């Protein structure tokens, strides 16, 4: 999951590839770098510089060096909310690029982003979480994020009343479920009850992120045992999601049930929740991914992986 919800006002403009526009962007970078010399005690200048970075990075994203990221990280640590908002927007834009993802983390970008996730300002929260979501799409960053202390605030923000924050946070949590070690860190951070509760979200993206994350978490036998002990409504929620109007949510619900059905206890729960009827309906779908997801789930009733 690498596409995040937009939180700040849009700085996008129609972009042409003429050399004069690229020259303008380079001149803007130089001007901002010179401006940073006067920033330390001048909030107005900090705001101007942060806004300039946000505008530049929305016009064009390219690999950048430390000379660009250091000033943005400096602005990210400002005590001014407007500076934080614009600086985190700029960093989130740059984090779309693969090389930038790695360099941002290498230069210590996670620490100020975590502080901003704890901000009472929703716009700051949203931009910071969106940036972490982008950073977490790179395999080399996942463990560093898991060990940085980011998972607890991400889990808390997944319950945000602001849907943009909630989408970004659940997307980030999903990005952290692709390895055994990171899944365990996520479980330790208390993410399971949050993800299960959000299966009932009215937002399709949140449903999809949470269903997929839980499906990945359920790959591990120890996690299935924990889910069985603490989440009695999980199966019924997933069965209901197989009737979702969203095909991608239906697919992931069936795949989550497939992983749960590796255990006989969950097979019985799926039957009791009338899950087989929904699976039969999916098997008759014209949409191949649905058929494959449902077939994989049904197969586990007869040939569970443990056998």
The 3-class secondary structure across 248-300, one letter per residue, is HHHHHHHHHHHHHCCCHHHHHHHHHCCHHHHHHHHHCCCCHHHHHHHHHHHHH
CATH assignment of 192-307, among 1.10.490.10, 1.25.10.10, 3.40.50.2300, 3.40.50.880: 1.25.10.10
* pLDDT number for residue 67: 84
Label residue 303 by pLDDT band (50, 70, 90): confident
What are the residue boundaries of the structural domains of the chain, listed by start? 192-307
pTM: 0.86
**294 token code pair:** 């449902």
Distance from C-alpha of 256 to C-alpha of 251, rounded to nearest angstrom: 9
Contact yes or no for 257/270 (Cβ under 8 A): yes
Tell me: the pLDDT tens digits for 86-137? 999 999 999 999 999 999 999 999 999 999 999 999 999 999 999 999 999 9
Tell me: the pLDDT tens digits for 133-158? 999 999 999 999 999 999 999 999 99
Secondary structure of the chain: what % helix, strand, coil (to 5)?
70, 0, 30
Label residue 302 by pLDDT band (50, 70, 90): confident
Distances (CA, A) of 117 to 47, 56, 85, 100: 19, 24, 11, 20
Distance from C-alpha of 145 to C-alpha of 189, rounded to nearest angstrom: 13
Kindly provide the b/e burial profile for residues 204-239, where b requires at least 16 CB atoms within 10 angstroms of the residue's own CB: ebbbbbbbbbbbbbbebeebbeebbeebeebbbbbb
The angle at the Cα of 34, spanning 28 to 35, to the nearest 5 degrees, equals: 85
The angle at the Cα of 239, spanning 235 to 245, to the nearest 5 degrees, equals: 145
């Amino acid at each position: 999951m690498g596409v995040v919800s937009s939180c700040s006002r849009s700085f996008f403009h129609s972009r042409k590839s003429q050399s004069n526009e690229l020259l303008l962007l380079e001149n803007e970078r130089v001007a901002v770098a010179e401006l940073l010399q006067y920033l330390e005690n001048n909030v107005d200048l900090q705001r101007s510089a942060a806004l300039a970075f946000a505008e530049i990075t929305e016009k064009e994203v390219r690999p950048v060096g430390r000379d660009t990221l250091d000033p943005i990280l400096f602005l990210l640590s400002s005590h001014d909310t407007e500076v934080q908002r614009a600086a985190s927007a700029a960093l989130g834009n740059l984090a779309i690029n693969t090389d930038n993802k790695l360099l941002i983390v290498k230069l210590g970008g996670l620490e100020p982003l975590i502080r901003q996730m704890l901000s009472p300002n929703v716009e700051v929260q949203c931009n910071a979480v969106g940036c972490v979501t982008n950073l977490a799409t790179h395999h080399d960053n996942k463990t560093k994020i898991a060990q940085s202390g980011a998972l607890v605030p991400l889990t808390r923000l997944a319950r945000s009343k602001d849907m943009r924050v909630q989408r970004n946070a659940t997307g980030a949590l999903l990005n952290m479920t692709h390895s055994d070690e990171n899944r365990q860190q996520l479980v330790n951070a208390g993410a399971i009850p949050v993800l299960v509760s959000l299966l009932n979200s009215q937002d399709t993206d949140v449903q999809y992120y949470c269903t997929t994350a839980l499906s990945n978490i359920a790959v591990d036998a120890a996690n299935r045992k924990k889910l069985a002990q603490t989440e009695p409504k999980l199966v019924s929620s997933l069965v209901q999601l197989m009737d979702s109007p969203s095909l991608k949510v239906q697919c992931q619900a069936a795949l989550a049930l497939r992983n749960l059905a590796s255990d006989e206890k969950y097979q019985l729960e799926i039957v009791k929740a009338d899950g087989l009827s929904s699976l039969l309906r999916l098997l008759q779908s014209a949409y191949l991914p649905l058929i494959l997801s449902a077939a994989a789930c049904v197969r586990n009733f007869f040939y569970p992986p443990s056998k």
